[in-house]
Amino acid sequence: MPTSRRTPLTVAAATAALLLPLAACSSSSGSGASGDAQRLRVVMAFPPAQAMSPYGDDAVTLSRLAVIEGLTTLDRNGAAEPALATSWKQDNPTTWTFTLRDAVFQDGTKVDADAVVRSLTAAGKASPLPRVLSDTPLTATAAGPGTVRIVTKGEDPLLPQRLANPSLTILSAGAYENGRANPAGHATGPFTLTGVKGAVSATLERNADYWGGKAKAPGVDVTFAADGTARANALRTKTVDVAEYVPIAQASLLGDSYVHEFPSARTNGLSLNTVRGVFADPAMRAAAREAIDSKALVDGVYEGRADTAKGLLGPGIPWAAGKRTAPTGRTPAASPEAVAETKKIVLATYTNRPELPEVATLVQQQLEKRGFTVEQVVRDYAQMEADALAGKYDAFIQARNTLLDTADPVSYLASDFTCDGSFNISQLCDKDVDAAVDKAASLRATDARHSAGMTAEAAVLGADALVPLVHERFVQGYDDARVEGVALDPMERTLITADTHVG
């Protein structure tokens, strides 16, 4: 599907559609009251897709709004930290014991071992199954009122990180009715979900019994708007206090006081088909890599609001740069004459992320300057994923979250670059890469696992299966003179916290 710029009328209509539910929400809550004047108004980019079920992408929305919690949470480096569990220990390779915090659910019932077992068991039986459990079934049992024993099918050194996934949230017994899990009023976070109006809006109230102390804001009024320009306009007109994911094109229009950008865990890369067509030849892949000018992409498409590509893992993963090693086993690039004799290549990307079609156009120009003949294909991602995974394109540009479901980049390396990988768009099957990834996956100690992961990165880059283009930055919008405590999270799991409030 070709890209097009929205007309002013379209943008105005989108903004009007956004403002109406906000105005209705404000009038219904009596915004003249002093308490209501301090309520947060937030516009989110992704409307609920599964009626706020915790077993799909809506779980991330609930996490970003500080409604739900799991046994653990993650620090900036992706290491597990206490949440509803205060501590844990590994009893043997497949068995762990977790000690629970003294906490209550938003409906007043106690967080105990039975509640944890119920929640984790329900997640394991959900259909579709949460991605985080797709390769690691687990069984939870109560080992005492405040102790839970969790057994995994195989050894899983990442279990504490896995349990931080929003889909493994802990809910009270009242959440489970009619075969579904309803987090409204049954979670443990600093804010309680009290109402949802389809894909339009949601209402949150402060959880006065939150174990971490009362939230600073009395509540949150949420509106959902997929149109990025509408979100930016709502912030500009002060209709909202926080706007999620401001588009790059709108950031410069808002001004520095409203724009808060930070490194993400996303790397935009050019996957090259290693088994079919021109790029089955590693010398041609090397030539494509040498053709790419990352800085030109950062400056020309992202207006400087991205980072030049350094590897598969960018600055949103702060430990990566210090452990990076040079790519190994690279083949010398083909000559310009040899490149000019190749057949036409198909370069594909998708419209769902607004910058990618522009990236594809600039990458096409860079490849053509090197001598390649390029045909570009741009459509909606849903129309392309199956073909991309089947290796039907010569080159595919995608924005990839390298931390996935467990905040562990080794799982990303395994899924994207090993012979049995489930998301191997480059079709790479290299014994050296597989060996490096397997070694990293076998290690328990975090530092050793990180070091081995960067060795695996070097092997992937040496094969030129993927050419890193840029490392995205996220842009969240809010007036830093009025709003405090917004979380700028590279892993995209937090946004509103107990500390977020209007000053």
395 & 460 share domain:
yes
Domain assignment present for residue 335? The answer is yes
pLDDT (mean) for 56-62: 92
Is the model's pLDDT at 9 over the cut of 50? no
Looking from the CA of 415 toward its CB, the CA atoms found within 13 Å total 19
272 & 152 share domain:
no
380 & 461 share domain:
yes
CATH of the domain at 361: 3.10.105.10
Whether the bond into 183 is cis, omega within 30 of 0: no
139 & 243 share domain:
no
Domain assignment present for residue 19? The answer is yes
Among 108-122, 276-290, 409-423, name the one with the lowest average pLDDT: 409-423
- What pLDDT shows up at residue 25? 45
275 & 308 share domain:
yes
Domain assignment present for residue 183? The answer is no
Q: Which domain holds residue 483?
A: 8-67+189-257+479-502
299 & 447 share domain:
yes
280 & 420 share domain:
yes
- What pLDDT shows up at residue 37? 64
- What pLDDT shows up at residue 278? 98
Is the model's pLDDT at 167 over the cut of 90? yes
62 & 76 share domain:
no
236 & 322 share domain:
no
142 & 214 share domain:
no
In this predicted model, what pLDDT tens digit does every residue of 72-108 receive, in sequence order? 999 887 889 999 999 999 999 999 999 999 999 999 9
Domain assignment present for residue 484? The answer is yes
In this predicted model, what pLDDT tens digit does every residue of 382-414 receive, in sequence order? 889 999 999 999 999 999 989 878 888 998 999
Among 15-24, 307-316, 332-341, name the one with the lowest average pLDDT: 15-24
Enter the DSSP assignment of 132.
G
Query: What are the two backbone dihedrals, phi and then psi, of residue 138, each rounded to the nearest 5 degrees?
Result: -140, 155
Q: What is the DSSP string of 441-459?
A: HH--SHHHHHHHHHHHHHH
| Confidence band of 34 (pLDDT split at 50, 70, 90) | very low
| Confidence band of 280 (pLDDT split at 50, 70, 90) | very high
In terms of DSSP bridges, do strands 259-272 and 483-484 run parallel, antiparallel, or are they unpaired? unpaired
Domain assignment present for residue 2? The answer is no
Q: How many domains does one find in the chain? A: 3
Is the model's pLDDT at 136 over the cut of 90? no
* Cα(314)–Cα(293) distance, integer angstroms: 16
In this predicted model, what pLDDT tens digit does every residue of 225-255 receive, in sequence order? 988 899 999 999 999 999 999 988 899 899 8
Highest average pLDDT, of 94-108, 256-270, 441-455, comes from 94-108
* Cα(85)–Cα(460) distance, integer angstroms: 37
- What pLDDT shows up at residue 22? 46
| Confidence band of 176 (pLDDT split at 50, 70, 90) | very high
CATH of the domain at 110: 3.90.76.10
- What pLDDT shows up at residue 36? 63
Domain end, chosen from 154, 177, 200, is at: 177
CATH of the domain at 20: 3.40.190.10
- What pLDDT shows up at residue 15? 42
* Cα(312)–Cα(270) distance, integer angstroms: 11
Yes or no: say if 246 and 452 are a contact pair by the CB < 8 Å rule.
no
Domain assignment present for residue 168? The answer is yes
Domain end, chosen from 177, 211, 246, is at: 177
Q: What is the DSSP string of 21-80?
A: HHHHHHHHHTTTSHHHHT-EEEEESS--SSTT-TTSTHHHHHHHTT----SEEE-TTS-E
60 & 77 share domain:
no
Domain assignment present for residue 1? The answer is no
What's the distance, CA 345 to chain centroid?
A: 30
